[in-house]
A and B are shown apart, each in its own frame.
Chain A
């Protein structure tokens, strides 16, 4: 970064104003509204009563019995665990698919790379809902995948591979939706990677695997971590894919929040779950901040 002149602080503060205003208007205020709502009481037919209550949070872990005693109920905890599991699965599968793609792109001649970046982002131009619907046609009974099996007589008329409405379908949907968020950051770090280092490793008789593990991965690490976060966080709150591809048979954090604000008409509880989700994401981000801290290296780090 270029050194700023001495009088920069004022200019810098002014320059930051738009960003601060946007963060205030689109992040702090909505989150504050949610936080306030999570401490209110739901009205019978939607909306809230302006009475302070922590019930919404208690409800996440405890069930209020008829005699007003509280009993531990793991129902919502299971949903949190499942959401984490599926988000993790989606992240790993995005990484497995995304890294080779990013590698391939980074190894193209510089003039060609922008074309590949463009191709990766094109699916983003289409609505997420439409893209998710497309998978119903691909994975469904008599879908694009099943049809050849049936045609070849491997699959009986009544039988199905059962691809649709499963955790597999959700993972595929999440992977497909969020893959650009994995590819682009990894590509960004691989593009800057000095490939003469890889050659040097080879010259020093490093095996391909060792080169990959000890040279490429450490250098691509910031991109990999950023990509994993960008995929993991939205996957955690996703509700379109579990709903459409999972058949709505298992609640996820995202579907649970949506359900509370619509049919269940329990806004404070929905807000409380959203706050918990936010807190979980914060934990992940703090872990990331720690992991991304530059390693003390001889000669002063990065």
Chain B
């Protein structure tokens, strides 16, 4: 494609400044199934940098490895709630993302986030939300409040599914009650516990797997769900003539975002900066989104995304929807969450 070729050349030129000393290596340490092969191929072709990929599957694994002093990684991809552990911990270095040319492409909403207010350390990457997905055809109306989930009407009882992860469901409870996450106030935690205990008899199952299956076969009508999964669920449901929707309740949805960061121990810092700049290009981020099915932070990337993903209501959040970011709780708050969960399940 002509435009692709032009853009690729442009990108290569944009990077040319760094290119002279850039040849060499870039070691990326990313989540499993989270790095688009097309993106890497394009990056290698444009810059001549040789990319090596290694993967992990939880933030805790990444953190533990970095805390143990792991060397040899130039790019890591922690979630927003872990970034505030990495920065003060001295595990990552400042690379002045805000001064990179492609930073101009970053959507206003994703600039200078709370977890990196000066955008010194992190380049924005994918983001997503969790809320509830529901069978609109069985519910009979739009789901506008989490009331349907937490205090279900007669016909919904026994057909509600919640996530198995206590943080997720406790956070959703806080959201419904208008309380803060990682709450250490015993009275407010008690309220969440009462809410979940009252909801429990109406719960079909607490599970994070097979949620789409249960919704599509009608076992469940409302279920906790991630936006990316709800997107895939809706496509499958539609093939069977069923109407699955992702809700943006008035109380809000829980949001997360991942960032690209450079560890203090990185050996190819300049190449890492070239990569960060490269990813903040609309066409390149679109490659990533097409591969993962999650939204990106770059203005204009939609135009390059697949038809299915472009304009998908699960991915493109309505402008008036409220989103609240979760964060990593300290041991005391985490302990309270675990206690609430144990009391709910005992």
Is the CB–CB distance between A75 and B334 below 8 Å?
Answer: no
Highest count of chain B CB atoms <10 Å: which of A63, A251, A263, A266 = A263
- B306 beta carbon closer than 8 Å to chain A: no
Q: Which of B44-52, B69-77, B96-104, B199-207 contacts A (4 or more CB under 8 A)?
A: B199-207
* Docked-complex contact B204 and A165, CB < 8 angstroms: yes
Task: Give the complex CA separation of A263 and B219 in angstroms.
Answer: 26
Contact in complex: A45, B63 (CB < 8 Å): yes
Assuming the contacts A46-B60, A75-B343, A249-B345, asked whether A264 and B206 have C-beta atoms less than 8 A apart, the reply is no
Report if B145 contacts A (CB, 8 A).
no
Chain A residues, Cβ within 8 Å of B200: 249
Count of chain A residues near B, Cβ 8 A: 34
Tell me if A288 is interfacial: C-beta within 8 Å of chain B: no
Quick one: which of B97-154 are within 8 Å of A by CB? Answer: none
Is the CB–CB distance between A142 and B346 below 8 Å? no
Contact, CB under 8 Å: B165 / A263: yes
CB of B331 within 8 A of CB of A75, answer: no
Question: Which residues of B, 183-224, contact A by the 8 Å Cβ criterion?
Answer: 186, 200, 203-207, 210, 217-219
- Chain A residue numbers with a CB within 8 Å of B254 are none
Chain B residues with CB under 8 Å of A247's CB are 203-207
- Check A140 for interface membership: any CB of B closer than 8 A: yes
Chain A residues with CB below 8 A from B335, complex form: 266
A265 within 8 Å of B by Cβ? yes
Contact of B217 among A63, A75, A78, A141 (CB under 8 A): A141
Take A140-B219, A141-B219 as given contacts and tell me if A251 and B346 are in contact as well, using a CB distance cutoff of 8 Å.
Answer: yes
- Secondary structure call for the B interface: helix
Q: Which residue of A lies closest to B85 (CB)?
A: A45
Q: Is A250 on the interface with B (CB-CB < 8 A)?
A: yes
A251: contacting residue among B60, B85, B218, B342, CB under 8 A: B342
Smallest CB gap from A164: residue in B: B219
Residue of B nearest to A256 (CB): B342
Contact among B63, B165, B206 for A249, CB-based, below 8 A: B206
The answer to whether A47 touches B342, judged by C-beta atoms less than 8 angstroms apart, is: no
Is A266 a contact of B338 with CB atoms below 8 Å?
yes
B303, chain A: closest CB distance, angstroms: 39
Instruction: Flag if A75 contacts B206 (CB, 8 Å).
Output: no
- CA A44 to CA B337, docked complex, whole Å: 13
- Where chain A touches its partner, the secondary structure class is loop
- Which residues of B have CB within 8 Å of A265? 60, 334
**CB-based contact B207/A44 at 8 Å:** no
Q: In whole angstroms, how far apart are the Cα atoms of A264 and B334 in the complex? A: 7
Contact of B218 among A43, A47, A142, A249 (CB under 8 A): A142
**Closest residue of B by beta carbon distance from A264:** B338
From A45, A136, A249, give the contact of B210 (CB < 8 A): A136
**In the bound complex, how far is the Cα of B85 from the Cα of A263, in angstroms?**
17
Bound CA span A250–B346, Å: 6
A42 within 8 A of B: yes
Candidates B164, B167, B217, B345; contact of A250 at CB < 8 Å: B345
Chain A stretch 218-271: residues in CB contact (< 8 A) with chain B:
243-244, 247-251, 256, 259, 263-266
Considering the complex, give the chain B residue whose CB is closest to the CB of A78: B346
B203: contacting residue among A158, A244, A249, CB under 8 A: A249
Provide the bound-state CA to CA distance between A46 and B67, in Å.
12
Chain A residues whose CB sits within 8 angstroms of the CB of B204 once the complex forms: 165, 247
- Once the chains bind, are A66 and B186 in contact (CB under 8 Å)? yes
Q: If A76-B342, A78-B346, A263-B166 touch, does A248 touch B331 (CB 8 Å cutoff)?
A: no
Q: B328 is contacted by which of A45, A66, A266 (Cβ under 8 Å)? A: A45
Nearest B residue to A41 by beta-carbon distance?
Answer: B331
- Whether the pair B206, A248 counts as a contact (CB closer than 8 A) is yes
- B339: CB under 8 A from chain A? yes
Cβ of A281 < 8 Å from any Cβ of B? no
- Please name all residues of chain B whose beta carbon is closer than 8 Å to the beta carbon of A66 when the two chains form the complex: 186
CB distance from B215 to the nearest CB of A (A): 12
Q: Does A61 contact B (CB under 8 A)?
A: no
Q: Is A198 an interface residue (CB 8 A)?
A: no
Is B64 at the interface (CB under 8 A from chain A)? yes
B330 within 8 A of A: yes
A142-B113 Cα distance, complex, nearest whole Å: 47
Contacts of A259 in B (CB 8 A): 338, 341
Contact across chains for B217 and A263 when beta carbons are under 8 A apart: no
Contact A142:B217 (CB < 8 A) given known A44-B331, A75-B346, A249-B206: yes
Out of A42, A79, A140, which one reaches B331, CB within 8 Å? A42
CB closest chain-B residue, reference A250: B345
Chain B residues, CB < 8 A from A79: 342, 346
Given contacts A142-B217, A248-B205, 13 further A-B contacts (CB under 8 A): A42-B331, A44-B331, A47-B64, A75-B346, A141-B218, A141-B219, A165-B204, A247-B206, A249-B200, A249-B205, A250-B345, A251-B345, A264-B341
Query: Can you show 25 pairs from A to B with CB atoms below 8 A apart?
Result: A44-B334, A45-B60, A45-B63, A45-B328, A46-B60, A46-B63, A75-B343, A78-B346, A141-B219, A142-B217, A142-B218, A165-B205, A243-B207, A247-B205, A248-B205, A248-B345, A249-B203, A249-B205, A250-B345, A256-B342, A259-B338, A264-B166, A264-B341, A266-B335, A266-B338
9 closest residue pairs by CB, A with B: A247-B205, A248-B206, A251-B345, A44-B331, A46-B60, A264-B338, A141-B219, A75-B346, A78-B346
